[in-house]
Structure 1
Amino acid sequence: MDSSDRTIFKVSVGIAAVFVLIGVLIPNQLSAAMGVAQSFVLESFGWFYQLVATFFLGFAIFMIFSKYGKIKLGKQDAKPEYSRPTWFAMLFSAGMGIGLLFYGVSEPIAHFATPPLGDGSTEQSAMLGMRYTWLHWGLHAWAIYAIVALALAYQKFNKGAPGLMSATLYPVLGEKVKGPIGRTVDVVAVFATLFGVAASLGLGSQQINAGLEYLIGIPNNFMVQMVIMAIITILFIISANTGISRGIKYLSNTNMTIATLLLVAMLILGPTLFLLNMFTTSLGTYVQNVALMGLRISPFDSNEAAWTQGWTIFYWAWWISWTPFVGMFIARVSKGRTIREFTVAVLLVPSLVCALWFTIFGGTGIYLELIQGLNVSGQGLETALFYVYQQLPFGILLSILTVALITTFFVTSADSATFVLGMLTTGGKLNPSSRVKVTWGIILVAATLVLMASGGLAGLQTAIIVSALPLTFIVLVMCYGLVKALNQELSESSSNKPTKKEKLFSKKTAS
């Protein structure tokens, strides 16, 4: 590492260590401070998050149909490193794995019982709940990922820039990205990644604990979750040191295989016809209302506004905080794709999979409560899935597969995160040293435990919402810089093309 890289590494590790130390020494004060910060950001910037999330979706769609679509990420003869199935698996595993299992049943059933508007536990709230779940995990989320990943991939593979968030701002800031401004951008990206991934790891440890309680009676408490995280920390550090083409690739394929088995099993064992009908209806209402839902604030109803802040705004902040992590990882595995192919794949394929997932898992939970009268909505967020399994054939087997899948998703997410944090703090190196990755692995787990101890899920949410705000402005500048760089490339390529007169002259000369 050169001196600049060492500065970013030392500053980032130092601030993270101070945060962990504060959480250990004065957890109550940290929790109170984070609560105040969360309330301020949600109430003052909720409208801003809604607008920018909608803008990012519009920008991604624009990139698909724009004149830039044919530009390849890399040289003209660049070939993709991975097959499409493996590529899709890696996109999906890095993106939302743990969250799908944690919220698969619990979010649709929560919206069904307490909808964003109107009465709960009705047929109308069931459809509304599914529609808003699609909103939170669908096109908006993957558009945010696609934009950041595209900017990173273009600068890396087309311009030879380091794999850093600051490098995407070069078309706007020029050489200033190599100074204090660029280093600040990278430090912001480090902490957004740290807290964004910490939330997923916290959810994962809670649900693994819930699954083990259901299967073998292990108590569901913070101490057990600490042990779970310690064991899995060892696993993902081992995986991180095997490299992206071995550890992460194989785990991603394993994740997709188990996830597909669970999805098909739930569709067959659950109320199949009901789920297919719900998917079709939800697709129509989602497409019809996606813009309205993505801009809804409810300025005249404080209860509805609080619902939007606690769910929709939180999700936009979560996805933005994940963009350095997921964006950098997607960029790393997407060399050789055209901008159009890349954006269509990142935007549509995972969105469709998420829609299917939530319809099948959440729809089963809704069916059990609305039609059969069971109390699914009364279960905790981390236990709702296992409660649903209890009502189905082969419930024990499904629970075992789910605990295994959460574990591999946990390892993949932490593995990818240490890789990305290593890149961000070593000048964009594609293969950070084991020492750097292990350092970030330990800090990541320590930060997760501190956040869980000082506020549980609420503490994790607060860290995400606050850390995502400065990163949002960076991504907006990134969009402008990407268009500016692409326009320059098209201008340069068109100036190098022979004119009609030159073509005619060359033909005459040849004849």
Structure 2
Amino acid sequence: MHPGLVPGISVDELRTRFGLDKVVFGITAALIVAFILWGVIAPDSVGDTSSTMFSWAMENTGWLLNIVMILGLVIMIYLAFSRFGNINLGKDGESPEFSRFSWIAMMFGAGIGVGIFFFGPSEPLWHYLSPPPHTVDPETPESLHQALAQSHFHWGLAAWALYALVGGALAYSIYRRGRVSLMSSVFRSLFGDRHTDGVAGRLVDMMAIIATLFGTAATLGLSAIQIGEGVKIVSGASDVTNTVLILIMAVLTVCFIISAVSGVSRGIRYLSNLNITLTLGLVLFVFIAGPTLFLLNLIPSGIASYADNLIDMMGRSLSWGQDTLDFQAQWTAFYWAWWIAWTPFVGMFIARISRGRTLREFAVVTTLVPTFILILAFTVFGGTAIAFHRDGKAGFDGSGTSEQTLFSMFDHLPLSGVIPFIVIFVLAVFFITSADSASVVMGTLSSKGDPAPRKIIVVFWGLCMMGIAVVMLLAGGEDALSGLQNLTILIAIPFSVVLIGLVVAFLRDLATDPAAIRRAYAENAIHNAVVKGLEEHGDEFEIAVGRAEEGHGAGADFDSTASEVTDWYRRTDEDGNEVDYDYTSGEWGDGWSPDDARRDDIGDEDADGDPATPGLNRE
């Protein structure tokens, strides 16, 4: 079949053999377990080493984080308005799996997490009291809007453009190119088949697992810190030590394991939907019970300030001086590292729910909708905290921690005796569902792209996440947040290089997509036809399809038999041997059909008792 006529291939149409990748799993697991043992045995050593490496990295490689975040935003804007925008993240003519409302609702769930509770009230307040260097004076109307702009900058377009970039690349790779659900699959056009299935591809997958481990562990650490503060308030305890935080994490880890092995994941999903509803409810509650009129005015003003200051904030770096570098290290670099580390996890989730969307719709909606949601949440929480500071209420002088600011805000609102329990519940469910989902993603990455990895692998990665979160807390000492920040940034810097490579590979794939080939042919054909029509018939001509002279056709400058545009849609059996395939009838040359796989799978279960997925074989 001509490469311009291929309708696309979904991974579930192929004959794939899944199983544990012993190299990826073995090497990554050994490194992570060794790190956890080091952190538990000598947390001070980890803390000192990470602090030293962190200082060096911020001074010498902080620019790399900025470049990656800016690149993600630029690429998604380009894809939304480029000739690639009409390419389907699925086969030609394939309809979206979910309605637009359900799709946005699920994306909304991905945009809501512990971050809006941990940083929502405190970050805008801190920027208001101590604005970024070389900007405005503190505690002024200018600093109010600068504070919101800076918070929106950290949580808005740049973060979601990067998630959209990875999610779009994965969705395209899986549902249009028929590749398995691995980060390395995106690099096939860059590495070639041999290196993608070899050292280079496995290195990408191992780095993706490590990034996900540390990024999610940082989130779990933040959850534990907040839950600890809530327990302190509810119980009347005097202080929350790292021992208490570790105990909280241990209890939640047991809940995660029960979720992972007992088959209650569907119940957890329902619980997650309830959680999102409660989170929205809390934001709405603060909006109504707090300074409503002030917030109504602040929402459009904050958005306008964000748009006005976006380019300036993107350009801040070491070139602005040491004060700016220190601010970046404490705030912007941590966020950029956190988002970079979360890209495999969130990207995989977004890819799975976006099948059938055009690249243009995907880029616009995935970037703008979650950004708007988080802007509203941060304006409501942060604006309320700033208003309480202006009113002189206790707990908003900037001396408290993020978690103290959160619970102080609710303490000054109605239902202060009930809200802490709801917040603790919400945070606990976020902890369990994040651990559950991230563990499945890491199980997939270490199981040759298996969408339903073995439960024992999922639990193992979940326990590793908890172990890393504990090490982060111990390495930070009294300032637990510093341990989370330092280690997250150190892990994200090497993964930034992977994301730059992903951009190159994704664009190379799109350039040889069947829809892109057809568009190029169409432009050439119309141009040639119009020129010839004018030359031969003046104003009176029409366009018809016919065979052109040798070397003058629409595809004269394109080699439609080249391996880079034909190899990807050649079909193979489970062992990688090429098999003929008729795209018109859907028949395999060796007589295989999906029904054969289904018959083989009847009654067949994997080692954990899970029914095998029809058509997808496991080693």
Regarding TM over 0.5, the answer is yes
Instruction: Find out whether 1:180 has 2:199 as its counterpart.
Output: yes
Deviations 1:235-280 (A, max 9, x none): 2233345779835642442222111111111100000010111111
The percentage of aligned residue pairs carrying the same residue is 37
Q: 1:392 aligns with which of 406, 409, 413?
A: 413
Instruction: Find out whether 1:481 has 2:521 as its counterpart.
Output: no
Query: Aligned ranges for residues 38-53 of structure 1 at < 5 Å?
Result: 38-53=54-69
AA matched with 1:311:
W
AA matched with 2:58:
L
Q: Displacement of 1:300 after TM fit?
A: 4.6
What's the secondary structure of 1:328's corresponding residue? Answer: helix
Deviations 1:413-466 (A, max 9, x none): 111110111011111111111111011111111111111111121111111111
Deviations 1:171-190 (A, max 9, x none): 11111111101111111111
Query: Aligned ranges for residues 21-100 of structure 1 at < 5 Å?
Result: 21-100=37-116
Please tell me whether the aligned partners of residues 115 and 128 of structure 1 are also in contact (alpha carbons under 8 angstroms): yes
Provide closer, same or farther for how the CA distance between residues 195 and 331 of structure 1 changes in structure 2, counting only shifts above 3 A.
Answer: same
Provide closer, same or farther for how the CA distance between residues 458 and 39 of structure 1 changes in structure 2, counting only shifts above 3 A.
Answer: same
Q: 1:294 aligns with which of 303, 308, 314?
A: 314
AA matched with 1:332:
R
Instruction: Find out whether 1:205 has 2:229 as its counterpart.
Output: no
Please tell me whether the aligned partners of residues 19 and 447 of structure 2 are also in contact (alpha carbons under 8 angstroms): no
Q: 2:157 aligns with which of 117, 131, 139?
A: 139
Higher mean C-alpha displacement, 281-290 vs 487-496: 487-496
Provide closer, same or farther for how the CA distance between residues 375 and 224 of structure 1 changes in structure 2, counting only shifts above 3 A.
Answer: closer
Provide closer, same or farther for how the CA distance between residues 396 and 80 of structure 1 changes in structure 2, counting only shifts above 3 A.
Answer: farther
Q: Which residue of structure 2 lines up, in the alignment, with residue 509 of structure 1?
A: none
Please tell me whether the aligned partners of residues 160 and 366 of structure 2 are also in contact (alpha carbons under 8 angstroms): yes
Q: Which residue of structure 1 lines up, in the alignment, with residue 496 of structure 2?
A: 472
Deviations 1:455-481 (A, max 9, x none): 121111111111111111111111121
Instruction: Find out whether 1:335 has 2:355 as its counterpart.
Output: yes
Please tell me whether the aligned partners of residues 51 and 295 of structure 1 are also in contact (alpha carbons under 8 angstroms): no
Query: Aligned ranges for residues 157-306 of structure 1 at < 5 Å?
Result: 157-175=175-193, 176-218=195-237, 219-241=239-261, 246-247=266-267, 249-297=269-317, 299-306=319-326
Provide closer, same or farther for how the CA distance between residues 327 and 128 of structure 1 changes in structure 2, counting only shifts above 3 A.
Answer: same
Provide closer, same or farther for how the CA distance between residues 248 and 144 of structure 1 changes in structure 2, counting only shifts above 3 A.
Answer: farther
AA matched with 1:197:
T
Q: Displacement of 1:281 after TM fit?
A: 0.9
What's the secondary structure of 1:395's corresponding residue? Answer: coil
Please tell me whether the aligned partners of residues 111 and 373 of structure 2 are also in contact (alpha carbons under 8 angstroms): no
Please tell me whether the aligned partners of residues 248 and 416 of structure 1 are also in contact (alpha carbons under 8 angstroms): no
- Aligned pairs, how many? 506
Q: Displacement of 1:220 after TM fit?
A: 1.8
Q: 1:120 aligns with which of 133, 138, 143?
A: 138
Provide closer, same or farther for how the CA distance between residues 18 and 252 of structure 1 changes in structure 2, counting only shifts above 3 A.
Answer: same
**Between Structure 1 and Structure 2, whose CA radius of gyration is higher?**
2
Q: Distance in 1 between matches of 2:456 and 2:56?
A: 38
Q: 2:485 aligns with which of 455, 461, 467?
A: 461
Query: Aligned ranges for residues 340-379 of structure 1 at < 5 Å?
Result: 340-372=360-392, 374-376=394-396, 377-379=398-400
Instruction: Find out whether 1:104 has 2:120 as its counterpart.
Output: yes
**Whose relative contact order is higher, 1 or 2, with alpha carbons under 8 Å and at least 6 apart?**
1
Q: Displacement of 1:403 after TM fit?
A: 1.4
AA matched with 2:197:
K
Instruction: Find out whether 1:382 has 2:403 as its counterpart.
Output: yes
Higher mean C-alpha displacement, 171-180 vs 89-98: 89-98
Q: Which has a greater percent of helix?
A: 1
Please tell me whether the aligned partners of residues 204 and 410 of structure 1 are also in contact (alpha carbons under 8 angstroms): yes
Q: Distance in 2 between matches of 1:249 and 1:35?
A: 38
Please tell me whether the aligned partners of residues 240 and 416 of structure 1 are also in contact (alpha carbons under 8 angstroms): no
Instruction: Find out whether 1:446 has 2:464 as its counterpart.
Output: no
Q: Which residue of structure 1 lines up, in the alignment, with residue 332 of structure 2?
A: 312
Provide closer, same or farther for how the CA distance between residues 300 and 353 of structure 1 changes in structure 2, counting only shifts above 3 A.
Answer: closer
Q: Where do 5+ consecutive residues of structure 2 fail to align?
A: 1-16, 530-541, 547-619
Q: Displacement of 1:52 after TM fit?
A: 2.5
Scaled by the length of structure 1, the TM-score of the pair is 0.93
Q: Which residue of structure 1 lines up, in the alignment, with residue 432 of structure 2?
A: 411
AA matched with 1:194:
L
Q: Distance in 2 between matches of 1:25 and 1:421?
A: 26
Provide closer, same or farther for how the CA distance between residues 414 and 370 of structure 1 changes in structure 2, counting only shifts above 3 A.
Answer: same
Q: Displacement of 1:84 after TM fit?
A: 3.6
Please tell me whether the aligned partners of residues 299 and 376 of structure 2 are also in contact (alpha carbons under 8 angstroms): yes
Please tell me whether the aligned partners of residues 18 and 450 of structure 2 are also in contact (alpha carbons under 8 angstroms): no
Provide closer, same or farther for how the CA distance between residues 244 and 307 of structure 1 changes in structure 2, counting only shifts above 3 A.
Answer: farther
